[in-house]
């Protein structure tokens, strides 16, 4: 689990969700753009994880990509919670490619790996959580751009 609990817990937060058949990326970010949590979880555990995060953070909104299985997941999520969560869909085109670049910004290579061009490096873990971060950022950018 990657989390940052240093900022105030009562500030409204946004939950980013990148659903998949086998695994899902989840991220929580404050409206101040401070990342509070990000993790890749098995799809079967996603709703339980979101429930836990809603108890930990004051989640005001869930942002989800608009591709692949998002319609099915939107229905699952709206049925799963007694206290419904507002769900907003955003364009997720190219988000996986962008997440691969962001991974190296968040976790710069060390040692000899730093000499290898980024396009030739293999990312050692799934980046679905980073996609979830990017979805939140896209939503916030869309708000500012209006």
In 3D space, the residue among 16, 17, 15, 88 whose CA is nearest the CA of residue 54 turns out to be 15
Burial of 54 from C-beta contacts in 10 A (0-12 / 13-18 / 19+): middle
Domain extents in the chain: 2-145
Per CATH, domain 2-145 is 3.30.420.140: yes
Q: Any idea which of 65-69, 70-74, 97-101, 105-109 has the lowest mean pLDDT?
A: 65-69
Mean pLDDT of 84-110: 94
Mean pLDDT of 123-127: 96
Contact 135, 64 (CB under 8 A): yes
Mean pLDDT of 4-26: 82
In 3D space, the residue among 18, 33, 52 whose CA is nearest the CA of residue 126 turns out to be 18
Instruction: Tell me: pLDDT of 3 over 70.
Output: no
| Structure confidence by residue, pLDDT tens digits, 41-87 | 999 999 999 999 999 999 999 999 998 788 899 999 989 988 888 99
The CB density around residue 57, as the number of other CB atoms within 10 Å, is 22
């Amino acid at each position: 689990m990657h989390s940052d609990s240093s900022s105030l817990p009562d500030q409204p937060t946004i939950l980013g969700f990148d659903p998949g058949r086998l695994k899902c990326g989840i991220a929580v970010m404050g409206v101040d753009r401070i990342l509070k949590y990000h993790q890749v979880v098995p799809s079967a555990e996603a709703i339980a994880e979101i429930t836990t995060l809603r108890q930990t953070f004051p989640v005001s909104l869930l942002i989800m990509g608009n591709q692949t299985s998002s319609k099915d997941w939107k229905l699952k999520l709206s049925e799963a919670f007694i206290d419904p969560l507002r769900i907003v869909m955003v364009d997720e085109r190219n988000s996986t490619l962008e997440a691969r670049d962001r991974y190296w910004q968040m976790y710069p290579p060390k040692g000899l790996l730093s000499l290898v061009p980024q396009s030739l490096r293999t990312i050692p873990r799934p980046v679905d959580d980073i996609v979830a971060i990017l979805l939140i950022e896209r939503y916030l950018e869309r708000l500012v751009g209006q």
